Amino acid sequence: MSGRVCLMSKFKSLDDWSGALLGIALILAAWRGWLPYSLIETLGFVTGAACVYLVVKQNIWNFPLGIANNIFFLILFAQDRLYGDAGLQIVYIALAIQGWYWWLYGGEHRTALQVNHAPPRLLLILIGLVILGTIGLMLILQAVSGSAPFVDAFTTVLSLAAQYLLNRKAIENWYVWISADVLYIYLYIARDLQLTAILYFVFLCLCLVGLWQWRRVWQRHSAAIAAPDLA
């Protein structure tokens, strides 16, 4: 059994290194002008995919990598007049700092936070805030001639709600991210940001994996808590 675990660990390490080397190769190719995408968009692609991968693995390093990703997307979206998504990156940086702290000290007695379910009251509050936030931001984006006011506003507010749930390690964050990613794919294809659209398709696939893995973690955690009661 130990030999099998060791072999699986080696394959996992190989996958991690393969992904890192692929990311470096893409960045170098964009820098040399060998790709039909800008260096900024490629950097956003690589750091974004790596960040979500680390979230799926519950790796704390997703937060500093996510901050770098926010900076690249802030530049990219501002250039393309997607002001809602550009402003969202600034808020993401603040939320990443909050999430970094919560994941480390947000559990009982300032221990590491565990995967959990969001309480129904919190979900209802977030739904109300998403509706109100979308309406308010859409009016602002219309006033500054944003290129896609409603979709831009809705995905922006939806993403904030998803990030807040992610910071709390609530499983429901994946459902919100999945909804947002579907809309983002449509938005970026419409704006001719093909590489970013592909990235969000990768995000969508990783979100499905993340949902599956986090549910398994929660089930194991719940079973471990229930075990002493059954003894």
**C-alpha to C-alpha distance for 171 and 149, rounded to whole angstroms:** 29
Tell me the residue type at 111. T
In a domain, 56, yes or no: no
Residue 47 lies in a domain: no
Residue 33 lies in a domain: no
**Whole-angstrom distance, CA of residue 2 vs CA of residue 33:** 47
State which residues form the domain around 207.
90-230
pLDDT string in tens for the chain (231-residue length):
433 333 334 334 445 666 677 777 877 887 778 777 788 888 888 888 888 888 988 899 999 999 999 999 898 888 877 776 787 788 889 999 999 999 998 877 788 888 999 999 999 999 999 999 999 999 988 888 777 788 888 998 999 999 999 999 999 999 999 999 999 998 888 888 887 788 889 889 989 999 999 999 999 877 776 665 555
**What is the pTM for the complete model shown?**
0.80
- Answer yes or no: is 64 within a domain: no
Two tokens, residue 73: 């997307």
Instruction: Please name which of 227, 213, 200 lies closest in space to residue 45, comparing C-alpha atoms.
Output: 200
In a domain, 205, yes or no: yes
Using an 8 Å Cβ cutoff, are 66 and 51 in contact? yes
Flag whether 189 is in a domain.
yes
Do the domain assignments include residue 70?
Answer: no
Residue 193 lies in a domain: yes
Domains held by the chain: number: 1
